[in-house]
Amino acid sequence: AQANNLVIRIDESYIDHENVIEIVFTHQGASHTVKQQVDMRKIQSPNDLNKKYTTLIVEQIIQVIN
């Protein structure tokens, strides 16, 4: 997924023990964090993770940077 040169690829290493993906990024000198709860029951493959959750995370990031 891309937005203003933003490229994100999510894999299972991003998911913490509470099934939350947390992405920390810097925009215009400020640090921001976005979090997304993952329903692991819906994840059959790593590709599912990308398809289902990358868009949600990118949408959150776009809201922050706009």
Contact 27, 34 (CB under 8 A): no
Q: What percent of the chain has pLDDT over 70?
A: 89
DSSP string over the chain: -EETTEE----GGGB-TTSEEEEEEEETTEEEEEEEE--GGG-SSHHHHHHHHHHHHHHHHHHHH-
Per-residue pLDDT tens over the stretch 30-54: 999 999 999 989 888 878 888 888 8
Contact 54, 3 (CB under 8 A): no
